Amino acid sequence: MNPENPPVNPTSQAPTGLRGPGIFLAQFMSAEAPFDTLANIARWAASQGYKAIQLPTLGTQYIDLARAAESQSYCDELKAVCAEAGVEISELSTHLQGQLVAVHPAFDALFDDFAPAHLRGQPQARTEWAIDQLKLAARASQRLGLKAHATFSGALLWPYIYPWPQRPSGLVEQGFAELGQRWRPILDCFDEAGVDLCYEIHPGEDLHDGASFERFLEAVDHHPRATILYDPSHLLLQQMDYLGFIDRYHERIRMFHVKDAEFRPDARSGVYGGYQGWVDRPGRFRSLGDGQIDFKSIFSKLAQYDFAGWAVLEWECCLKDSEQGAAEGAAFIREHMISKTRKAFDDFASVTSDEGFNRRLLGLPDA
C-alpha cells in the first residue's frame, strides 16, 4: 500500500456506543508548557483522566492541516505522539475557519483576526481560503481515521436575527440559498472522505437552532454529511428544549460537547443580556456540574438513540479556572456515561414463543 494514501476506515471496525471522556483543546492553547505542543498537552490531558483530545486546526501549534491532508506518514506520527501519551484524537475542529466561510460585512474587521495576516481586508480571498481549509480538514480527518469533524456555519443573516425593522420578503431565503451554495462543495468533499461535517448549533451562526438547521438542510438538499455538533449550553441560553432537541434531531447528531450553563433572568435583562459581560449576564456558561443542564437525562437519551461518538468536555466558565474545570470534567463525564444494557431487565421471566402460541394468546384460530 502506498504510505501516502489515506487508510481505509471500514464502519465494521468503528467503535460503537458513547466514548469518553474527551477534551476540546481550543480554550487551553498556550505558549507555555504543558499547553505548548501536541506531545505536552496530550500527556497533560491523559494525566487529567481524558482518553481523547479534540484538536483545533487554526495555525500549526498542534497540527499542520495542509501537511496532514497530504501526508499519511505525518498523520501516523501525530497518532503515535498521542498514543504514547495515552490518548487518541477524537476529532479535528475548524470552528474559526468555518466562521469565515460566510461573514456579513458588519463583522469583517472583527473576523479578519481569524485569517492569515496577508488576507485581512480581502473578504473574497478570505472566504476562498476558509473553504480550502475545510477541504483540507476533510482529507486530514480521513487520513487520521476520524469519522466526524467540528465546525461553525458562518453567518450572513445574523444582523437581522430580530425582525425589526421588518425583514424584506425573501431575505432569509436568499441568505440560506447563498449559505448552501458555499457549503455544498465542502460537504461533497467530506462525503468523499467518509467524514460527517458537524455544525455546532450556536448563536452568532446562521445555524443557531433547529429551525435554522432545517432551513440549511433544505438548502443543501438534505446532504447526508450535514450533521450536528450537539452542545446543550447554547440551547439552554436560548431557552430551548435541549432534551427534546435530541428526540427531534438524533439521527443528525454526530458529535457532543459536554458544556454546562445557567439562565437566571431578572428585572434588568434576559436572553439578550443587556450588553453585559459574561459574569453579569442572566445566561452564563459554567463548568460541569455548576450550571443547570440535566446531564443525566442527556446521557440517557444519547444511549437510547445509540449515539456512537465521543463525549468531549468544552470548558467555558466565567468564574472557575480552566485547569480546575478540566480536572473536574473527566470524572464528571465518566460518572454520567452509560453502558447500554444488552438484555431486557425482565428477561428472567421470558417465555418461549412462536407464531402459533401468539395466535392462541390472542384468541385466534391456528393458521
- Inside any domain, residue 367: no
Range of the domain at 251: 11-361
Is the Cβ–Cβ distance between 240 and 202 less than 8 Å? Answer: no
Angle at 100 between CA 186 and CA 106, to 5 degrees: 140
Residues in the chain, pLDDT under 70: 1-16, 346, 348-349
Question: Residue 354's domain is classified under what CATH number?
Answer: 3.20.20.150
Domain-located, residue 2: no
Q: Is residue 309 part of a domain?
A: yes
**DSSP strand pairing (283-286 vs 260-263):** antiparallel
In this structure, is residue 3 part of a structural domain?
A: no
**Rounded Cα gap, residues 15 and 296, in angstroms:** 23
Whether 348 is in a domain gets the answer yes
Q: What residue spans of the chain are helical by DSSP H?
A: 38-47, 65-70, 72-85, 95-99, 108-111, 123-143, 171-193, 210-219, 232-237, 242-249, 295-304, 322-336, 355-361
**Does 135 map to a domain?**
yes
Residue corresponding to grid cell 474559526:
96
What domain count does the chain have? Answer: 1
Per-residue pLDDT at 350? 75
Q: Classify residue 366: in a domain, yes or no.
A: no
Instruction: Kindly tell me the number of DSSP H helices and DSSP E strands found in the chain.
Output: 13, 10
pLDDT at 8: 40
Residue 351: predicted pLDDT: 76
Of 282, 7, 32, 36, give the one whose Cα is nearest residue 147.
7
Residue 308 within any structural domain of the chain? yes
